Amino acid sequence: MSERNEHSKGGVYSVKGKEFNRDSRYIETRIVAEPREGTDDYPVEPHRYRLVAAYACPWANRAIIVRDLLGLDQVISMGNPGPTHDEDSWTFDLDPGGVDPVLGIAKLKEAYERRFPGYDRGITVPAIVDETTGEVVTNNFPQITEDFYVEWKQFHKADAPNLWPDELRDEMDDVMQRIYTEVNNGVYRCGFAGSQEAYDAAYDRLWTAMDWLEERLAERRYLMGEQITEADVRLFTTLVRFDPVYHGHFKCNRNKLTEMPNLWGYARDLFQTPGFGDNVDFEQIKAHYYVVHTDLNPLSIVPKGPDLANWRSEHGRG
């Protein structure tokens, strides 16, 4: 998901005097094991779909991590746009000739337009594209990762984690909802506040949630207990961007992540788990926020810091 791209395509990014309001209208088509009659469901089919996901984007980063954790890299290909984009679309700057080698397109917008001519909402990542037609299937980021677990289960690797444990589902839904509204989206509410009053309210909401998480993680290794779940993936992609971007760029600066012992240990624990840290690219993350958000950073100067070597230090969460 690109906040700037959403703004240019009709989403609200900040309105003077008001709080940031995310355009959450996504393509609700799903890829399922048993397509339902009377719907536009697509069937689960190995080697048919391409996940288009930028490492820079926290929402796309979720899908990259879950695909890796479950071993779906063997059946779903992946294309990675560059960290920056124009007002029109995410682009494949990292590929030879600036063209995705499988889809044969320079802009992700082309896949959206093939299915929905004149598509007038944000050209967002993650998106799943049908390789057989070149058409976008879905960009509904929370549904994508849930379906990776539930609908693609027959293709999971043998030691794939149970990211959606049935016995924890109700509590986990509540935890993930609070993380989404107060933390994942909360940092943007701070960064794109349209007034001092909106910023102050957003800041207070964010830090109330961060303190709640710090307290929760004092008593358990992961958010839901002793095993990694989808909830951890959803929080991790915000935490890993906190000190490099959100602390300064979005003015979420009460303190750094490194100054919260439980959250900092937890974040490093996940970072050092295969599938998490090896799918983080700090240089792309910083380039995206500091270059694309010219209204917040008009000269597009990318800061050299912070020193991120400490992500590999002992976390003490075993």
- Residues with Cβ within 8 Å of 96's Cβ and at least 6 positions away in sequence, in order, are none
Q: What is the number of other CB atoms lying within 10 angstroms of the CB of residue 158? A: 5
CA separation (Å) from 49 to 22, 156, 199, 262, 304?
27, 16, 40, 38, 37
Binding residues for glutathione: 90
127-130/49-52 β-pairing: antiparallel
Q: What are the CA-CA distances from residue 138 to residues 8, 86, 247 (Å)?
A: 20, 21, 32
Binding site membership: which residues? 90
Query: Catalytic positions, please?
Result: 57, 188
Burial class (CB in 10 A: 0-12, 13-18, 19+), 96: exposed
Distance, in Å, from the CA atom of 123 to the CA atom of 52, rounded to the nearest integer, reads: 11
- Rounded to whole angstroms, the Cα distance separating 65 from 67 reads 5
DSSP annotation of 199: H
Closest CA to 176 of 148, 127, 209, 215: 209
**CA 258 vs CA 59, 83, 183, 191, 231: distances in Å:** 22, 25, 16, 20, 21
Q: Strand ranges (DSSP E) for 106-180?
A: 127-130, 135-138
* Angle, CA 215 vertex, CA 214 and CA 216 arms, to 5°: 95
